[in-house]
Amino acid sequence: MTASNPSPKRLLVENLAWSNDVQQRDPTYFQRLAHAQTPTFLWIGCSDSRVPAETITHASPGDLFVLRNIANMVGTGSNSSSALEYAVCVLEVKHVIVCGHHGCGGVRAALLPENDATPNVNERIEPLRRLAHFHRKELDALPTLDARINRLVELNVQAQLDVIGHSEPMSRARKRPKLHGWVYGLKDGLLRELTSEL
Ligand code: CO
């Protein structure tokens, strides 16, 4: 959908067209999918509209169990812990992917002074400020803000994997899923592997 100012109605019309397309190609597709979900992956990504998990991986409904929030973080709250628990302990996904992206606005905000207009975002990204402070020597040595953002994006992906790896749901998993850290490049549409368990 490339219209510059699409309306909600447009989304509904596009949905009808999509549903018709899918059913024409595979008449029992939705019936099979409605029966149960058995995703292989838990995808933890940023809410950024430019990083839609299914689109950039050519994934289909049923493939990814998705948690997206500002700067792809797994916090202590029930939002992320419940998604992690359900994916790991109930759905028994085989892989957990944390995907950050270059130029992340949430990560950028953590490197700039607090914005009084966004108190909830400020609270949300507080762990990122602490992470940036912890790595300030390495970050300060980088030549530009963009370079510092992109490095902090990587450090954040690694930090989230550490949190997940030591989380309570992971300790209860019948078969521990493999953890993967990826970073998506907005300028080339490519995913880069930072870290991957074999
Ligand atoms: Co982002």
The whole-chain average pLDDT of the chain stands at 95
Q: Could you tell me which residue, 1 or 196, shows the higher pLDDT?
A: 196
CATH topology of domain 37-196: Beta-carbonic Anhydrase; Chain A (3.40.1050)
The encoded tokens of residue 129 equal 């400020």
Between the CA of 172 and the centroid of ligand 1 the distance, in Å, is 30
Provide the residue ranges of all domains of the chain, joining segments of one domain with +. 1-35, 37-196
Percent pLDDT > 70 in the chain is: 98
User: What is the 72 CA–ligand 1 centroid distance (Å)?
Assistant: 7
At 101 the three-state DSSP class reads: strand
Choose among 146, 158, 136, 138: nearest CA to 73: 158
**Strand intervals (E) in the chain:** 41-46, 64-69, 95-101, 178-184, 191-196
Find the 165 Cα to ligand 1 centroid distance in Å.
22
pLDDT at 3: 60
pLDDT (mean) for 85-113: 97
Ligand 1 centroid–CA 153 distance in Å is: 9
Q: Which residue has the tokens 């953590």?
A: 110
Q: Which residues are catalytic?
A: 46, 48, 50, 101, 104
- Tell me which residues have their CB within 5 A of the ion that is ligand 1: 46, 48, 104
pLDDT of 39-73, one tens digit each? 999 999 999 999 999 999 999 999 999 999 999 99
